[in-house]
Amino acid sequence: MAVQWYPGHMNKARRIIKESMSDVDLVIEVMDARIPFSSENPMVAELRQHRPCIKILNKSDLADPAITRTWLQYFEKEQGVKAQALSVLEKSRTKKLPALCRKMLPERGTAVKPIRIMIMGIPNVGKSTLINTLAGKTLAKVGDEPAVTKVVSSAQQRIILEGGIALSDTPGILWPKIENANSSYRLAITGAIKNTAIDYEDIALFAADYLIIAYPSVVLKRYKLKQIPKTGTQLLEDIGRKRGCLRAGGIIDLQRASEILIHEIRSGALGQLSFETPEMIAEETACRLG
Ligand code: G4P
């Protein structure tokens, strides 16, 4: 992975977030709705302990709504967790979040006893966009390294919102789950990790293999194919042919075809797609353990 999550960085992030926790009443964990398992960080449960948590399945505008619903049910089973599908680009819905926070912590939420909130998540899931929308102004984007996280304790580092909400102005940045090879691919496909050590064609091939099985009609329609390719490589070749990605001698330029596929997935040009379901993850996890 090119995002280098050195053990030193991880430990520092964990320590700083842990220190900040004594001044936090509620945690909002932002995840990518297309890959909730891979974009979740198990450390959040350890760090938040008994504190209530809202899990935001963000970028739901890009995810398959039916699969997002199954993930919401999955997460709601966790103790003290409310799960919400959201696109934080949608300001009016996002601004309803403070009301949910007050419902979860009715004993706080006043000017004297505000609900102190920390937003957490891996890079590129939409934490800064969420903070900016709630704050109603654009705050400087923090870096993507856990090390830039700072201890949140002083009032200056909090944004005071209406209705007794105090929001940490910097998110707790955690590292993605990388113990599962499939997760690395899915994080790369969705752009959560942009510059990965995995070859672009490899990422596109993983995506193509998945799409021909999970979303065959989407593939047929988008690339105007008569029949569904049998393999991911065939799909990339079809895309190359259809989009004129040819090198000298009529050889298909698989690198360019791969870039097209990944770009179109990330931009939503293929429609709303999810790359993980709870059942899939249960199977993968069982295989790893078995
Ligand atoms: P972060 O703080 O967690 O690192 O994420 P940030 O808010 O910077 O968001 C990362 C990218 O994701 C941004 O795109 C942002 O506009 C986009 N994004 C955030 N929330 C949503 C959402 O709900 N739906 C969609 N479709 N996109 C969302 P960007 O600035 O163009 O960066 P990039 O795409 O080039 O990384």
Ligand 1 centroid–CA 87 distance in Å is 10
Q: Looking at residues 177-200, what average pLDDT do you find?
A: 84
Cα 183 from Cα 185, distance rounded (Å): 5
Helix, strand, coil abundance in the chain, percent, nearest 5: 50, 15, 40
Domain boundaries, position 251: 199-289
Ligand 1 centroid–CA 126 distance in Å is 5
pLDDT in tens, 74-100: 999 998 999 999 999 999 999 999 999
Q: Does residue 92 sit in the same domain as residue 30?
A: yes
**What CATH number does the domain containing 208 carry?**
1.10.1580.10
Q: Does residue 159 sit in the same domain as residue 44?
A: yes
User: What does the pLDDT read at residue 272?
Assistant: 98
The Cα-based distances of 281 to 160, 191, 265, 273, 275 in angstroms read 39, 20, 21, 16, 10
Q: Does residue 16 sit in the same domain as residue 141?
A: yes
User: What does the pLDDT read at residue 6?
Assistant: 64
Domain end marker among 147, 168, 189: 168
Nearest CA to ligand 1 atom 7: 126
Q: Does residue 145 sit in the same domain as residue 214?
A: no
**What CATH number does the domain containing 134 carry?**
3.40.50.300
Q: By C-alpha distance, which of 146, 128, 145 is closest to 137?
A: 128
Looking at the CA of residue 131, tell me the nearest atom of ligand 1: 7
Q: Does residue 116 sit in the same domain as residue 237?
A: no
Ligand 1 centroid–CA 42 distance in Å is 22
* Residue 68, token pair as written in the block: 């997002």
User: What does the pLDDT read at residue 151?
Assistant: 53
Q: How many structural domains is the chain composed of? A: 2
- Mean pLDDT, the chain, as a whole number? 89
pLDDT in tens, 12-39: 878 888 888 999 999 999 999 999 999 9
120 C-beta closer than 6 A to ligand 1: no
Q: Looking at residues 115-128, what average pLDDT do you find?
A: 94
* 115 found inside a domain: yes
Q: Looking at residues 242-261, what average pLDDT do you find?
A: 94
Looking at the CA of residue 268, tell me the nearest atom of ligand 1: 26
pLDDT in tens, 190-233: 998 876 667 889 999 999 999 999 999 999 999 999 999 999 99
Q: Does residue 62 sit in the same domain as residue 160?
A: yes
User: What does the pLDDT read at residue 56?
Assistant: 98
129 C-beta closer than 6 A to ligand 1: yes
Q: Does residue 159 sit in the same domain as residue 206?
A: no
Domain end marker among 146, 168, 190: 168
Where do runs of H (alpha helix) occur along 223-277?
232-242, 254-267
Distance between terminal CA atoms of the chain? Answer: 26
pLDDT grade, residue 1 (50/70/90)?
very low
User: What does the pLDDT read at residue 74?
Assistant: 97
SS3 state at 149:
coil
Higher pLDDT, 62 or 148: 62
Percent of the chain with pLDDT over 70: 90
HSE-up (13 A, CA, CB side) for residue 207: 32
Looking at the CA of residue 132, tell me the nearest atom of ligand 1: 7
User: What does the pLDDT read at residue 11?
Assistant: 80
User: What does the pLDDT read at residue 148?
Assistant: 45
For residue 252, what are the β-bridge partners?
246
Residue 244 scores a pLDDT above 70: yes
Per DSSP, 140 falls in state P
User: What does the pLDDT read at residue 153?
Assistant: 52
Q: Does residue 147 sit in the same domain as residue 203?
A: no
User: What does the pLDDT read at residue 80?
Assistant: 93
* 267 exposure class (CB count in 10 Å sphere: 0-12, 13-18, 19+): exposed
pLDDT in tens, 137-161: 777 666 665 544 555 555 447 888 8
Nearest CA to ligand 1 atom 26: 59
* 184 found inside a domain: no
Q: Looking at residues 119-129, what average pLDDT do you find?
A: 93
Q: Looking at residues 238-249, what average pLDDT do you find?
A: 94
Q: Looking at residues 244-272, what average pLDDT do you find?
A: 95
Q: By C-alpha distance, which of 65, 46, 68, 67 is closest to 56?
A: 68
Q: Does residue 27 sit in the same domain as residue 153?
A: yes
Residue 62 scores a pLDDT above 60: yes
Cα 119 from Cα 166, distance rounded (Å): 11
